[in-house]
Structure 1
């Protein structure tokens, strides 16, 4: 299902999601080169680092919730799952606050 695709996994993503990715022929990569970025905690330091990056601020990367993989597993398909429903915004958005990334302040 994920053959020729790469993913980066936050430390907040459970091993079962990572194992599923690998069992479906997906491989892992650094977040800067991965096709997909997965996290389950927008406030996790490794995910926060992505939200504060210039790549994120210039819309070059998107972080998805690891539950996307659970949905794919349940449906036995990646095409029948709308990945847009699994976009994981920064914690400040989830909390209803204004986001001022530290990258802009440096």
Structure 2
């Protein structure tokens, strides 16, 4: 019942999504850059400080627990298979961000 036209359309959907998402990100970065250049020219630009500690804690917690839930889901669904890697990789990234936060927090105290 799957026609070739339906298969082609289904295979094109992710490509279009990636291209459109890339265009949105590109134009956001371009317009944000132009805005900052104009603000610098007019002398009204105030640089905002980026809080790396809060960013690493928040993103580390979010990514770690999303990865953990993916690991649990794929373990229940398929058992121990290659699908578990789709949860282990974000868990490792989230854990590394949390370790970065802990190490940075300890070095700031001393």
- Tell me if TM exceeds 0.5: no
Instruction: Please tell me whether Structure 1 or Structure 2 has the larger radius of gyration of its CA atoms.
Output: 2
TM-score normalised by length of structure 1 = 0.25
Q: Would you tell me which structure has more strand in proportion to its own residues?
A: 1
Q: Would you tell me which structure has more helix in proportion to its own residues?
A: 2
